[in-house]
Structure formats: C-alpha cells, structure tokens
Amino acid sequence: MGTPSSWPVLAPVGSHNFDAIRKSRQSINEVSAEENQAMGAFAAPEIRALIRDLERVGSLTVSDLPKVLGEAQGTAVAGRLGELRSLGLIQSEYVIVCSRTGNAVLRTDDPNKLQKMAPDWMKCACGRPLNEERVDQVIMPTDRATALNDKGRWMTTLATAILPKLGISREQVIIDSSPAGTDIVLDLSGDLVLVVLKDREFNLADAYAFNAKVSRIKAAEGVIVSNEGLSGDAKKLVQEELGPQRARITDPFRISFVEGVQGLEHELGRVVERRRRQYFLRALGDLATIQGLNIGQLALAKVEAGGRAGKDLAVTPEAVAAEA
C-alpha cells in the first residue's frame, strides 16, 4: 500500500526532517502471542479499571469488586478472573474472614490447603469455628499487568502491531512515550502523520500540545485516539486553530478522532490511502514541471479538442440523405 520502491520520495509542500526527529526514536519491541492476548484484555474498560485500582490499593477481595468498580463492572470482572489469571494479569490468594470484624484470619495461595489449615476443632478469635467462617478470594496485579498499564504501553503496542498490516515499516515510525500518553509519527509517502494515543480523555492541555507538535513537525494529518473520548473544549480548540492555519487547496490538513484503539486500523488505512494519493499527485505535478507542461492547461486543451472533434464528426440527416 505504500509508495513504489523505485520512485523517489517527493517532499510535501511544507517540508519536514523525519531523520532529525528520529533521533528520539524508541524501538518497537516484538511481543508474544500470550502478551497480545493480555493486551487485548485491556481493551475492556472494566479490566483497565480493575488493574488501576489494584495498583492503587495493592489488592482487593472479590466480594469488594462491586463496591469498588460498581455493580455492573464488578460482576463483569468477577466472571473473567480465571481468564485474567491465565493471561498472567492477576494472581490470587484465599482467606478466611472473621464474620465479626471482617479481618483475614488465615491466608494461602491454594484453596485446597484451607481445610487443613482450619480443622474442625480450631476457632476464630471471635469464638466461631474457622470452618464456618467465610472464605474470600484476594486478587493482586502481576508484574505483567503493571508493565502493560505503565504509560499505556498496552495501547501503544496494539497500535504499532497494526502498522505492518497497512504496509508501514519500522523505518517509517517514530514512537515517543511519556506518562501523559504516546505520540507516534509516521512517514507516509513523504508526508508526516501524527497519531496521539490517550488511555483516558483527550483534554484541553492535550489539545494545546497536539497543535504545537503538528506545527513543529509540519504534519499533513493528525489522528487522535482516546479511550474516554474528547472534551468539548479540546475538540473545538484543535478544529479552530489548525483549520485556518493549515488550509491548503490541494491537500487540506485533516484531523481524525477515533474512539478506542479498536477503530484505529480502519482509520489509519484511510490515512495511508490519502497520503499515497497525494504522493502520486505530487509526482504528476513534478513530471509536468520537468517537461514544461501545465496539467490544468493540458486538461483544458483536451476538453476543447474533444469538443471540436465532436463538431467535425457530427453527421446531419440531410448529409446522410444526400449520400444515399
């Protein structure tokens, strides 16, 4: 889908220096199939909320999930705990909870050990037999979950995995990650495209930073991907400031807003097609310049020539009758 390899890359009207920007480039790491599945789980809002809460408090009991995440999300997460364990995102322990105080009396990583740890004759501090107390599950985040959640790495990795499907090579990609989110700069057929990833709402501060970077790198297009939408002020600022400043007759600056990383592949495919189309238009313009031709005048001359030919070839009924 990219530019033919035998063609030189033609600079856009507003030239840029992709190689200079590349100095801060971060490498694109290969991920395993298991890690891909784990990152896919992060696409669910309730899973992201769970991992963030676990990182914040350290651990949660399953019985507390509806209180912390809300009834709907808590129930949804509780039904996926086995899946999250198999993906290496959470680890579990099991506790016997005192019915009077709510405190954990015994704790183990194997539920089968609880019966041995709490024989019939052993009692809780409250006086109740331990084997009559409530058993609860405690869940904690794994190192994998923490790493994928850090700086929205799960989102960045899923996004970069899309690029080869669209014919975008590593040499065309620059990644800049920070706690605020990830910026990906793509060199598509000689034009730069800025893709901004936010694992939260895209706010007004993000809009100012986006506008500044678009102007600084002379981007031809911008794509904003947010998992929690865009604030009204942010969307208004981006559209109002970049629209008039970047107006071009033949190739107007475009901004695409994508809700969630799941919709990025479709939108980027459209961006790649537009950049490829602009490349060939520039190539035609350069070829015409080299040959001393004017594409507009050629098109007009072709139309006029077609009109004259039509008149010359027109055959009237009278002429047909005379020939007969």
Per domain, the residue ranges of the chain are: 18-30+167-285, 33-148
Top-confidence residue, 264 or 3: 264
Q: What are phi and psi of 273, to 5 degrees?
A: -65, -40
Distance CA 47, CA 57 (A): 15
Q: Which amino acid is at 318?
A: E
With CA atoms as reference, report the closest residue to 190 among 275, 272, 284: 275
Distance CA 18, CA 15 (A): 10
Task: Give the mean model confidence (pLDDT) for residues 89-101.
Answer: 90
User: Which pLDDT value is given to residue 128?
Assistant: 87
User: Which pLDDT value is given to residue 313?
Assistant: 37
Give percent above pLDDT 70 in the chain: 75
pLDDT-based confidence at residue 33 (cuts at 50, 70, 90):
confident
Q: Please, are residues 190 and 2 in contact by the beta-carbon 8 Å criterion?
A: no
Task: Give the mean model confidence (pLDDT) for residues 276-292.
Answer: 73
Pull the structure tokens for residue 204: 């007004």
Q: Please, are residues 144 and 91 in contact by the beta-carbon 8 Å criterion?
A: no
Task: Give the mean model confidence (pLDDT) for residues 9-29.
Answer: 56
Does residue 13 register a pLDDT over 50? no
Top-confidence residue, 29 or 158: 158
Top-confidence residue, 239 or 316: 239
Give percent above pLDDT 90 in the chain: 46
CA 315 to chain centre: 62
CATH no. of 18-30+167-285: 3.40.1350
Distance CA 264, CA 268 (A): 6
Distance CA 171, CA 93 (A): 45
33-148 placed in CATH 1.10.3470: no
Does residue 322 register a pLDDT over 50? no
Top-confidence residue, 1 or 68: 68
Top-confidence residue, 36 or 26: 36
Task: Give the mean model confidence (pLDDT) for residues 47-75.
Answer: 92
Does residue 209 register a pLDDT over 90? yes
Q: What is the pLDDT of residues 157-199, one digit of tens each?
A: 999 989 999 999 988 999 998 888 999 999 998 899 999 999 9
Task: Give the mean model confidence (pLDDT) for residues 224-243.
Answer: 88
Task: Give the mean model confidence (pLDDT) for residues 102-119.
Answer: 80
Distance CA 291, CA 32 (A): 52
Task: Give the mean model confidence (pLDDT) for residues 298-322.
Answer: 46
Task: Give the mean model confidence (pLDDT) for residues 58-83.
Answer: 92
User: Which pLDDT value is given to residue 87?
Assistant: 94
Does residue 69 register a pLDDT over 80? yes
pLDDT-based confidence at residue 146 (cuts at 50, 70, 90):
very high
User: Which pLDDT value is given to residue 22?
Assistant: 66
Does residue 117 register a pLDDT over 60? yes
Work out the mean pLDDT of the chain and round it to a whole number: 81
User: Which pLDDT value is given to residue 288?
Assistant: 61
Does residue 110 register a pLDDT over 60? yes
